[in-house]
Chains A and B, each alone.
Chain A
Amino acid sequence: MSPRRTASGGRIDRSRSISFRFDGKRYAGHPGDTLASALLANGVSLFARSFKYHRPRGVIAAGVDEPNALVTVLRGEVREPNLPATQVEIVDGLVAESQNRFPSLERDVGALNQLGGRLFSAGFYYKTFMGPVAGPLKGTRFWMACEAVIRRAAGLGRAGHAPDTARYEKMNAFCDVLVVGGGPAGLAAALAAARSGRRVVLADLDPAFGGALKWSGELLDGEPAAGWVAETISALAAMDNVRLLPRTTVWGYYDGNTLAALERVGDHLRDPGKGAPRHRHWVIRAGHVVLATGAFERPMVFPGNDRPGVMLASAAGRYAAEYGVLPAERFVVFANNDSAYAAAARLREAGATVAAIVDVRPDVSAGARALAARAGGELLLGHAVADTSGGRRLTGVALRRFDAATKTLSGEPRRIEADGLAVSGGWSPAIHLASQAGAKARWDETLQAFLPPQPDAGWSGAGAFLGHASTTAAFADGLAAVAALDGSLSDAVDLPASDAPDLDAAPAPVFEIRAADGRGSKAFVDFQHDVTAEDVRLAHREGFVSVEHLKRYTTLGMATDQGKTSNVAGLAIMADARGMAIDDVGTTRFRPPFAPVSIGALAAERFGELKPDRLTPLHDWHVEQGATMYAAGLWHRPMIYGHPGETVEQACVREARAVRDSVGIVDVSTLGKIMVQGPDAAAFLDRVYTNLFSTLPVGKARYGLMLREDGFAFDDGTTWRLAETEFLMTTTTANAGRVMQHLEYMLDVVWPDLKVILTSVTDEWAGAAISGPKARAVLSACVAGTAVDNDALPFMGIVHGAIGGAPVMICRLSFSGELAYEVYCGAGHGSQVWDALMAAGQPFGIVPYGLEALGTLRIEKGHVTGAEIDGRTTARDLHLSWMLSKKKPFVGSAMMDREGLVAEDRLQLVGLVSLDGQALNGGAHVVEHGDRTLSGSIGHVTSVCFSPALGKYIALALVRGGKTRHGSRAFISDPLRGRFGPVAIVSHHFFDPEGSRMHG
């Protein structure tokens, strides 16, 4: 048995032993121990080195509020830093190490920082690393030079680089009542809500429910409280409408009563089981939330209050009663309120010596005196701890007389030997979730604490969360919170009576013990960030008086514990410095998370490649043919069908040439396709397109352009009139979703009177474009049921027929500038039709072509795509003003004529031809002078290719003045890729400007 382990008592299982390692050394503990309790039982007092000064630190708390004892837990190569040792349950084989020390916790060279204590005060970094105004280290350069060293020396744990192999999962839950906190108030509320038939979720961050009943030692109806807790939990567990979530921290309270919680499912298990998650992220939508989150005890601020051995009185009592561990042998208890007296009695009963109880108050209640008598030792009222001594462990405390009214020390110090100092500076309700829910906390002068705001309809509070410390009050609150939901309980809940003595809940308004001369050891407010009372006063002197500035300047309350132990004392010291009431100084608002959350749990199953893949019906064929696939948005499209040894450009040129010389085929299934149906379909298209569609005959298609409401170009495509009231609209691949949403918006919001139905049919149709002089011959060879000659199928005509036995719809339109047809069939017939087209094309040497050749062909023709319709260009900029109907208003018509949109010097579409025989770069600037700088920029390059038709490198560009520059020379300049060269500015119609080929 370990030296500090009591022979009996507590919730640990002494019959079994658990072996673990801390800083390489092997220790033993028992099931039920946390890392903190097990190390304390082994006589360990030094847990950590502090953030800034590397001071030796012990464990202060017993729960989630622990600021000092942060450790890194190692799972193989995976490091999880900054876990409070008080929250880590030990498990066989656990490996943990201390943080922020080098080379070891015992001998830490960083401790030298303590010598420069005055130097490292609040704002040290801001003041020191501003850097000189001139020279090589001016401005932030000095900081950057020092940063690496500082970051190593100051701080918390180090994250690892090994990928986390643990599994995490996310769950959604819905309930009528979510009870946060499983202490007496939470258990009462859960019981009442469950008995009334409500769906209940009860969550507690500890491994076991019961809250303080686990260690208070009180009797309920004459029986130990732990027995009642066990009965209550088994009764709740047996009910179908109750879900119990132990080890679950509710950390976020969001709108609509949505709460986020983290369940630690597997950390406490040696073998969590195959597929079991390590953590589970819960999103809980609750009809009502009962906040029974309890309260955190506050330390007092006094010189030397951070020595290992100084801890919260409730934590010391809890270690003794819940874990059977005496954190020290000989205690001094120092308090400004009655609660510490119960802790003192608990320590005495567990076998520790209580040398003295020191209280700043001149008098205390009878209940407190009775407990003091049970605890033994001197009762020193009107006294305070003025300093402490000891290195890596407390050895004694210095007491002086203290006047609580004037807050002054007097008399000669008296030293008492002690290796433990149990401190209580009052209690702060854990109002974090209520604060997140929106309302402002209010200061209670009696309890010297911020109490939760008035509840709204979504939540109510109970127990210590409301400042009600006794079990009796907690029970009553829990029942009342549920009763208030519908005015009555359907089934009365009988709760037992507690024997706990009545104690005075009001602490003396004393937060800090300060020597008049300011001498003595440092007095810490925020242990985790090493912020002292003097730092707070320094911030005040330097003008950082608002609580928000105080927090940011001193970093008070900014560490992983978010100031659970330090906020109120910090505010009290600032209030005192400003001569104001704490209430008037105000408090910062709590934000999620209440406690650190593993990123893995938030990501859960959503990691890696998450976007869906969109594959056309012809995808497998492309892959079989050796196509290099290219991700175009979510779609996978063939870039080239390369032959062995070909470069991308060579393959592209070969494919494009085949289209110009004979015939090619390209998969156009990715184009957005929207069925527009209804009696008002034509009228609707007239309003959303710039040109007229009501005049389009059935069986014909028309190229259409859409603008946005602000008059800029939005999208283009062809729309086919299949019947009087039925149109098939095609959009660009990239804009399909946006166009659909735009059309739906206009119909739902602007023109709900139009009788039009829209259906997205992109995935229902497979499409192939056959282009080239031999395209008609290919079609003639395979189409059944229709003629495809110029009379039957003129330019922009539509016919229906069959290819390879499958029904098809064919429209004669051209993106390549050649004689071309788009063939559509049901997606399920895609391969069948494609194979038939390939077979029919074989005698003509048909070549499948990819996106590169498609782009080359359209650039040669000067057709625009998303690179030119980039959201900043107008129809006129793109020379599409011929499409702007003057006969009707349309979306964008009112805004497109604004002064800035018709200005002469706008960037307009032109063609560029490389004059040095080198490739042009997309995104390069077009500059007027032979000067590489961009000051003479007159535009930029949007699309580039090598043109097989011209035998030159060409590009489309947006250039100021546009057409007026045709025939002139300029340069492209691309400093990023080091390209500079002369170009000729020409018309964007590089090839066959009259369109004779496609009309042929």
Chain B
Amino acid sequence: MLITCPCCGPRDVAEFTYQGDASRSRPDPASTDQAAWNAYVYDRVNTAGAHREYWQHSGGCRSHLVVLRSTLTHRIDSVRFARDEADGARRRSGSPA
């Protein structure tokens, strides 16, 4: 499997670390909604097909990437810096912009 890191170019999967499902959203840090936190920390959908997931280029630039990958064929449709999804992330974290 090759992941095209936006910083380093196409690199072998051995250089990357899987960092989990990228479709879940972190509750507001001050939230005490246990169900929401539980879903964030534990609940995962075992998707067959297109999956949004985080990969860190741990053997390279160390950026976290959002990869859209088919779990059936390993086909990768898009790779973006996780930081470029900042708007969404800011909403999720609830931190001041």
Contacts and interface: CB of A to CB of B under 8 A. Distances in A.
A693 to B, nearest CB: 16
A816 B89 CA distance: 42
A438 B73 contact: yes
Contacts of A258: 1-2
A750 B91 CA distance: 10
Contact of B41 (A285, A710, A741, A889): A710
Nearest to A898: B34
Contacts of B89: 749-753
Given A255-B73, A256-B1, A750 B93 contact: yes
A258 B75 CA distance: 12
B23 interface: no
Contacts, number: 73
A750 to B, nearest CB: 5
A889 B30 contact: yes
B88 to A, nearest CB: 10
A895 B93 CA distance: 16
Across chains A and B, which 6 residue pairs bring their CB atoms closest together, nearest first?
A255-B74, A748-B64, A889-B29, A752-B83, A752-B86, A748-B82
A687 interface: yes
Contacts of A749: 19, 22, 54, 64, 82, 89
12 contacts: A256-B1, A741-B58, A745-B19, A748-B63, A748-B64, A748-B81, A749-B82, A750-B93, A752-B85, A753-B89, A889-B30, A895-B41
A255 B90 CA distance: 35
B27 A894 contact: yes
Interface string B61-75: 011100000000111
Given A741-B58, A894-B31, A894-B37, 15 more contacts: A255-B1, A256-B1, A256-B74, A687-B29, A741-B17, A744-B62, A748-B63, A748-B83, A749-B54, A749-B89, A750-B92, A751-B95, A753-B93, A753-B97, A890-B29
A745 B31 contact: no
Interface residues of B, number: 38
Q: B54, B56, B74, B93 — which one has the most chain A CB atoms within 10 A of its CB?
A: B93
A169 to B, nearest CB: 18
A534 interface: no
Interface in B28-42: 29-32, 34, 37-38, 40-42
Contacts of B34: 894, 898
Contacts of B73: 255, 438
Q: A709, A745, A749 — which one has the most chain B CB atoms within 10 A of its CB?
A: A749
A741 B58 CA distance: 8
A889 B86 CA distance: 21
A893 B22 CA distance: 22
B60 to A, nearest CB: 13
A709 B27 CA distance: 11
A741 B75 contact: no
Dominant SS among interface residues on chain A: loop
Interface in B1-51: 1-2, 17, 19, 22, 26-27, 29-32, 34, 37-38, 40-42
Given A741-B58, A752-B83, A889-B29, A255 B75 contact: yes
User: Which of the four size classes fits the interface of chain A?
Assistant: 20 to 34
A749 B82 CA distance: 6
Interface string A886-918: 000110011100100000000000000000000
Contact of A745 (B29, B30, B64): B64
Nearest to A172: B12
Contacts of A748: 56, 63-64, 81-83
A269 B74 CA distance: 40
B26 A750 contact: yes
A710 B38 CA distance: 8
Contacts of B41: 709-710, 895
A710 B92 CA distance: 18
A894 B90 CA distance: 19
Contacts of B30: 889
A755 to B, nearest CB: 12
A752 B75 CA distance: 28
B71 to A, nearest CB: 11
Nearest to B34: A898
B69 to A, nearest CB: 10
A894 B35 CA distance: 11
Given A687-B29, A894-B27, A744 B56 contact: yes
Nearest to B58: A741
Nearest to B40: A709
Nearest to A438: B73
B24 to A, nearest CB: 11
Contacts of A750: 26, 89, 92-93
Nearest to B27: A894
Contacts of A255: 1, 73-75
Contacts of B29: 687, 889-890, 893-894
A903 to B, nearest CB: 16
Contacts of A285: 2
A411 to B, nearest CB: 55
Contacts of A438: 73
Nearest to A255: B74
Contacts of B38: 895
A753 B81 CA distance: 14
B87 to A, nearest CB: 9
A752 B92 CA distance: 11
B66 to A, nearest CB: 9
A908 B43 CA distance: 28
B20 to A, nearest CB: 9
Nearest to B81: A748
Nearest to B84: A752
Interface in A731-764: 741, 744-745, 748-754
B91 to A, nearest CB: 11
A889 B26 CA distance: 13
Contact of A895 (B37, B58, B74, B75): B37
A710 B42 CA distance: 8
Nearest to B72: A438
Contact of B86 (A256, A744, A753): A753
A741 B56 contact: yes
A744 B57 CA distance: 11
A744 B62 CA distance: 8
Contacts of A893: 29
Contacts of B96: 753
Contacts of B2: 256, 258, 285
